[in-house]
Amino acid sequence: MGQGNTSSAKESGAERAASPPTPNTLPVSRLRPAYQQVADQLRELILNGSLASGDRLPPEGDLGSNFGVSRSTVREALRVLASQGLVKTVRGTTGGTFVSRIEPAQISDYLETSIGLMSGSAALRLADILEGRELLEVPATALAARRREQRHLDALRDAVEREKHSRGRSVKFREHRHFHGIIIEASGNGLLAMMTEPVFRVLQTRFLNTDAPPEFWARVDQEHEAIIDRIEAGDAEGASAAMQAHLSRIRDAYQEG
């Protein structure tokens, strides 16, 4: 009988060990700083949607009790999340700490900073950025051919005319970038817009070859017109092929610093 009780106790202990922690008992280990573990778990709750944009976090004291840490540890964890733009603190009687509402422009700015800092290093070469651009823009052009509206076609034609009459290489590149931005908009995919804009900006600010001759830009205008024709015709395959050829050729517009 004693042996049966021992066996039952062992089984009960195993069950407890296998049970996931409840929201009121979120343990932290001593392998990493406690504040970092709290920040990681809160970040996970935000990223998986358990805490949505605009949600108010519990008071610091309640969070401390849930995680089994001090209020100062919670405050440090919240500082980490605030530095990452995931939460913000509002003062006053109706204030508190809230999950941030992230705007597309914030994501683009973050990506631009990250790509800019890494560019030119062994981790991220110019060739990688140009290849990544092709992987984004060529399929986007096919989508634009399927989804474009008349306003997009009008904007593309207007952009090409401005390109033709612009003076100065930096101005021409700005118009060139605007043309490509309209195609991304016409694709109707918001994620593509957030991802391509920072790539455009890094290419312009860090890798633009200011020695490209006028004939180069004249050819760019012609290629842009060919792309518009395919988009206007609703020819997704032809539009993506024209964009692929265009992006491959204009690699000469960029150079390593």
pLDDT in tens, the chain (257 residues): 545 544 444 444 444 344 334 445 566 556 789 999 999 999 999 999 999 999 999 999 999 999 999 999 999 999 999 998 899 999 888 889 999 988 888 888 888 888 888 886 778 898 999 999 999 999 999 999 999 999 999 999 999 999 988 877 778 888 889 999 999 999 999 999 999 999 998 988 888 776 778 888 889 999 999 999 999 999 999 999 999 999 999 987 887 65
Cα gap 78→76, rounded to integer Å: 5
- Give, in order, the Cα–Cα distances in Å from 33 to each of 14, 37, 47, 73, 97: 28, 7, 21, 9, 22
With a CB cutoff of 8 Å and minimum separation 6, the contacts of 177 are 200, 204
User: Quick one: pLDDT at residue 9?
Assistant: 44
Q: Checking DSSP bridges between strand 96-99 and strand 87-90, what pairing results, if any?
A: antiparallel
User: Quick one: pLDDT at residue 30?
Assistant: 61
Nearest in space to 95 (alpha carbons), one of 57, 52, 45 = 57
Identify the sign of the CA torsion 88, 92, 95, 96.
positive
Coil/strand/helix, residue 1: coil
With a CB cutoff of 8 Å and minimum separation 6, the contacts of 145 are 230, 231, 233, 234, 235, 236, 238, 239, 240
All structural domains of the chain? 17-99 (1.10.10.10), 105-253 (1.20.120.530)
